Amino acid sequence: APGAPGRPSPRSASGPVLSGCGVYDGTEIHEASAILVHLSRGGAEVQIFAPDVPQMHVIDHTKGQPSESESRNVLAESARIARGKITSLAQLSATNHDAAIFPGGFGAAKNLSTFAVDGKDCKVNKEVERVMKEFHGAGKPIGLCCIAPVLAAKVIRGVEVTVGHEQEEGGKWPYAGTAEAIKALGAKHCVKAHVDQKNKVVTTPAFMCETALHHIHDGIGVMVKKVLELAGK
């Protein structure tokens, strides 16, 4: 239990926001797991959320192709990662949480927004937009990794974020073009993990980079640590 011998006392009530289960149509599972591990290590109390909406589509992860006959619910799929302990995003409030954290995966661009289809002209899910504006307005930190920083770029005017490098560099950064969309949304793009002190937004590239899993895990750890520091708990 938090506060037990050998563990830090709870410093923050944190709300990770998931977008399904699986990199191509939902949450990137390794990123979500890394966030939860590092929140646990930091002594944070965690309540996991996801919007109760249909997925944009379902991808067969063995083929990378849509399963045309299937439909799935984002909340129900996210519950797989949360081991069943999940709450509708409509219940997340800056009043009783100190931080919100958004892992990546295409679900952030397909289910939490329409970025995968509409790019810079995307719309953000109304509950995601509400949560981000609420936490930002309350001066509470928001952490995002991988593709999820596009959400902050759309919702928070002039925010500073990263989605990694701006050139592919021989395939190491396969999604480098996302940086231009970040700029087109009116945000400032940084080429490495970044803390926007003014807006209290912390971002790290995670799987935007083709690198070893432990590097991604460690980078997310730095992001989580900075979020908890900004939460001031």
Helix (H/G/I), strand (E/B), else coil: 135: helix
- Active-site annotation holder among 122, 146, 190, 209: 146
Residue 31, Cβ density class (10 Å: 0-12 exposed, 13-18 middle, ≥19 buried): buried
Could you give the C-alpha distances from 65 to 4, 60, 78, 82, in angstroms and in order? 46, 6, 20, 25
Q: CB within 8 A of 93, min separation 6: which ones?
A: 134
Amino acid letter at 132? Answer: M
Q: What is the DSSP letter of 192?
A: S
CA distances in angstroms from 198 to 137, 163, 173, listed in the order given: 12, 19, 28
Pairing of strands 45-46, 13-16: parallel
Burial class of residue 41 in the structure, from the number of CB atoms within 10 Å of its CB (0-12 exposed, 13-18 middle, 19+ buried): middle
Cα distance from N-terminal residue to C-terminal residue, the chain: 17
- Identify which of 109, 112, 101 has the alpha carbon closest to the alpha carbon of residue 143: 101
Is 190 an active-site residue? no
Q: Among all chains, which residue has been given the structure tokens 């709450």? A: 87
Catalytic residue numbers? 146
